[in-house]
Structure 1
């Protein structure tokens, strides 16, 4: 500091006013240098790994989605850093956390979302205990490692790094961790949006639902599919009542037989292919990078013949084809009490996923026509939402592209839609652009572990995810010179 003052005094030719101004600038600059320290990424990553393993050890299986203890763990870490936190309990044990680093008044914040609940795991089928969070072969093995606890730690460490660095902000940043995502979110993100919107109210949000993949759809290198929308969840329960009787006397009105035949008609006649604008934009993006003839097929999907060729070839994976039509999956059957008794009631549950723009009433009418029996009753287990897609342009989208380019050189960024539902839909319904973006690279074999056995995430993915999330926050929230 003394050398800066001497420098100003030696250049007095501009007068006292000039010298005073120069001194003020020097002092201001020096003060910023003293308070904004560079990040020791090795130290931060090591710290994050410990937090990740601790967080993954909490059994937050849904049901019952008891996240209270896990959320309390995260809250204490944030409180220790001097970051403002607040918790919200929708039902006993179902606790959401909101943490904030405020920015200027009148400027809506950026929101980093994740969920703390996980799907059940059968420990006997795992190489490592599902809630042991073992570190082995460069991976953390745990239920929720990918879906979605590491993602939550990426957001946590971003908040901590910003706070410790005293980073000046032009926009505040928030973290929200919810329960109940794996059961539809009614007691988690949906409840927060409906009853505590004033606790978040962001300009845009970043959540799970999209990430990086190597050699995706035959492309060379890494591609990031950023979720700007998702198929709309429509869960249905079918009930058929009929005449029971003795199992030794086969009858055509056996409720089981009627149900099985009706389901066969329904499932063998899936709705037709429909290319949504999101998928069309994605295919237009990747078509020039594909070899012939895939490049030609993808750029002409509006032609039925090209459509068929692409589906038989480059678009043949089931998870891709599920994005080209509304889908109906049979997931549960229930009937009968004894082997020699024809039941009076047969039931089935269907997981239907609708594309953006599908008329839900028309979809349901088509289903009734295919079932072909007026005795069927159809009850909603979950109604499809009306959330609009988020834009694949603008401030948030451009920041995603810059963060990917900085940390994953040469990676392609593509707007995408997910087959599964996420909590993003509740914010999209409120008009908040929300993006599925988890900055990791997962091969198909690793993706298959999500909701399966031996779920795990590499330490390398965790570290790169933290750095990319931090860069995204700096891009969108840090004060500019």
Structure 2
């Protein structure tokens, strides 16, 4: 496939801002063309859904799903190819959205799922410079809650379906949008979607929530990842109880002392380094990037993960290498009922991010062994889900790299494992390999504001994603215009 330069991409967006038609080569025999109508569509879809407060407790995910469904129907998608399944979660109706883009008649190829989430982490106007639910453009950015996480993905996939439908594109297999409604708070709708008849037999899923790249402040050194694995998210309550008493008569046995000892034990607890196909490649790439003593130490660990001297060098370096092992860290604590009474109960909350292949139960036991106090209880909070590593898919990876390189020639695009959690864990656990896809480019670290104050989306990069998705979907789903 013939590639284009990043300068051409920037010129494309600049041309559109002046009301001209612009295009980029996608292959030797086709051109991806954007005009002002495409930009207007992508922006209007995004701004419409950013105004809907789809945080837990507001009951608005179904409103957003119906808005998107109406836009897709207006573009030519039939009612029979759109479904809005719902669940009652904590007394609130929470919706998903599933849209089938039919492949050519007679195709026996399995579908491809395209996933994103419609919900957001809530935000308060009194902490933002702008109202988080009123999109505001400033200095080339669009400020709003969910602008990056993950309504940009929702709007881009919706806009791309509309554009391809209007252009008469017929894929060689079904393409299926699957938008969840509670990714941030439980993923129950995600689990529902993985069992949907249009989704459950997908060859793989492409996750727009895990398709983000980054550049330096000067716009140099772009890099992109293909998320192919995630650590398991697990939270534990570590609880000490005591008969209590009056604070004027302190004793050595104190629930807070017990928890203090537990904290020290967790601080010292070190989980073994482990590698899978994805994290091994990440380690090699990081070693090559850092060089010197760090590279030597990482090379040693790759050969012998138990080498303590090499591990100390890695952990002392100012580089994030938490993907090498399971991690557990105290995050909250509560204790006591009065300032003049010895606490009858003290509870510590510990959050763990667990390597694929390691069970939650084994980490629970490791915590118990480290704390070494049989009178302290250690309980798992809520549901946990262990998901496997998606296998390396060289053909798909080549297509994703090609789509990224259409915008950012030569930029590294490599598989990765995330410490955070996305809908991908549910899909992998359901037997659907899942991969991050996208080329949204954030300036590191300034633009990393998901879940935080003044979340913002770089608009030029957002509009370029229309090109990314069209190039990618035409590459992996064939078909003819």
CA distance, structure 2, for counterparts of residue 286 and residue 328 of structure 1:
23
Q: Distance in 1 between matches of 2:390 and 2:53?
A: 33
Distance 2:281 2:168 in 1: 40
Any unmatched runs of 5+ in structure 2?
A: 1-29
Superposition map of 1:166-315 within 5 A: 166-186=168-188, 188-194=189-195, 196-207=196-207, 208-214=209-215, 221-285=221-285, 287-288=287-288, 291-292=291-292, 294-302=294-302, 304=307, 305-313=309-317
Using the TM superposition, give the Cα deviation of residue 136 of structure 1 relative to its aligned residue in structure 2, in angstroms: 1.6
Alpha-carbon displacement from aligned partner over 1:139-186 (angstroms, at most 9, x marks no partner): 111111111001111111111111001112212211111111111302
Structure with the higher fraction of residues in helix conformation: 1
Between the aligned partners of 1:365 and 1:191, the Cα distance in structure 2 is 31
Q: For residue 443 of structure 1, report the CA deviation from its aligned partner.
A: 2.2
**Cα gap change, 1:64 to 1:343, in 2 (>3 Å):** farther
Gapped regions of structure 1 (runs ≥ 5) = 1-35
Query: In the TM superposition, what is the alpha-carbon distance from 1:328 to its structure 2 partner?
Result: 0.8
Q: CA deviation at 1:434?
A: 0.6
How far does the alpha carbon of each residue in 1:203-240 deviate from its partner, in whole angstroms, 9 at most, with x for none? Answer: 21111124212259xx9621112110000111222222
Does the 8 Å CA contact 1:53/1:140 hold for their aligned counterparts? no
Query: How far off is 1:423 after superposition?
Result: 0.8
Please say if residues 239 and 345 of structure 1, whose CA atoms lie closer than 8 Å, have aligned partners that are also in contact: yes
Task: Tell me which of 160, 163, 183 is aligned to 2:162.
Answer: 160
- Distance in 1 separating the partners of 2:95 and 2:186: 15
Question: Matched residues in 2 for 1:448 and 1:220: separation?
Answer: 17
Question: Cα distance 1:72–1:480, how it changes in 2: closer, same or farther (>3 A)?
Answer: closer
Q: Please, what TM-score do these two structures have when normalized by structure 1?
A: 0.84
For residues 290 and 335 of structure 2, what CA distance do their matches in structure 1 show?
Answer: 49
2: CA distance, partners of 1:210 / 1:236: 30
Secondary structure at the counterpart of residue 60 of structure 1: coil
Q: CA deviation at 1:439?
A: 1.7
Contact 2:232-2:353 at 8 Å conserved across structures: yes
- The 1:307/1:332 distance shift into structure 2, 3 A limit, reads closer
**Structure 1 residue 446: Cα displacement:** 3.8
Q: Distance in 1 between matches of 2:57 and 2:347?
A: 22
Pairs aligned (count): 438
2:19 corresponds to which residue? none
2:68 is matched with which residue: 74, 94, 97? 74
Deviation, structure 1 residue 409? 1.0
Aligned partners of 2:446 and 2:469: how far apart in 1? 21
Scaled by the length of structure 2, the TM-score of the pair is 0.84
Aligned 8 A contact 2:213 2:440 in 1: yes
Q: Which position in structure 2 is the counterpart of 1:17? A: none
* Pairing of 1:271-420 with structure 2 (within 5 A): 271-285=271-285, 287-288=287-288, 291-292=291-292, 294-302=294-302, 304=307, 305-313=309-317, 316-317=318-319, 320-420=320-420
RMSD (CA atoms) = 2.5
Shift of 1:295: 4.7
Query: Alpha-carbon deviation of 1:371?
Result: 1.9
Which range is displaced more, 197-206 or 462-471?
197-206
Q: Which has the larger radius of gyration?
A: 1
Q: 1:440 to 1:261 in 2, by over 3 A?
A: same
Name 2:36's counterpart in structure 1. 42
Residues 432-443 of structure 1 mapped to structure 2, 5 A cutoff: 432-443=432-443
Q: CA deviation at 1:273?
A: 3.4
